[in-house]
Amino acid sequence: MAIKMRYLYFSKKKKMAAIGEQIKQKYELQINSVDVIPPAYSCDKERVVILAITGKGEPADALRLFCREMTKLRAQNTCLIMDGDQKCADFVLGYLRDAGTNVVGQTLFINGGSLFNSKPSDAEMKTITDWVDAIIADLK
């Protein structure tokens, strides 16, 4: 199932990057579809951008600036995987809505693990891929 989708993460935890690689493989995404925030290649008419963020409280400036640039021309739809608190998620969702992109689905809260825990469990990946499947189904 190929879809124009990107997974961008704002985290120093290896597990957040590993989740992106597994999503890339499952959904047959393009080579540069998994990247950090801010990405090396800017978003351009993406169908869905999944933002995976580790944070608590008010987001860092780099994340805030990136989210404020997520217009409909960059991404039609965005969704959020959060390793952190609701307050940070609310800030990010507000920035995305103000920028004009369509925020879809519920925020998925996960445990991003430690700096050394780099592999999501099978149960965690099932939860995440079920969530992504539901997001994609809602877009059709």
Largest CA distance in the chain: 38
Per-residue pLDDT tens listing for the chain (140 residues): 568 999 999 999 999 999 999 999 999 999 889 999 999 888 999 999 999 999 999 999 999 999 999 999 999 999 999 999 999 999 999 999 999 999 999 999 998 877 677 789 999 999 999 999 999 999 87
Domain 5-139 fold is Rossmann fold (3.40.50)
**Residue 1: which residues within 8 A CB-CB, separation 6 or more?**
27, 28, 136
**Domain boundaries of the chain, sorted by first residue:** 5-139
Are the C-beta atoms of residues 8 and 49 closer than 8 Å to each other? Answer: yes
Are the C-beta atoms of residues 93 and 59 closer than 8 Å to each other? Answer: no
Beta bridge partner(s), residue 9: 36, 52
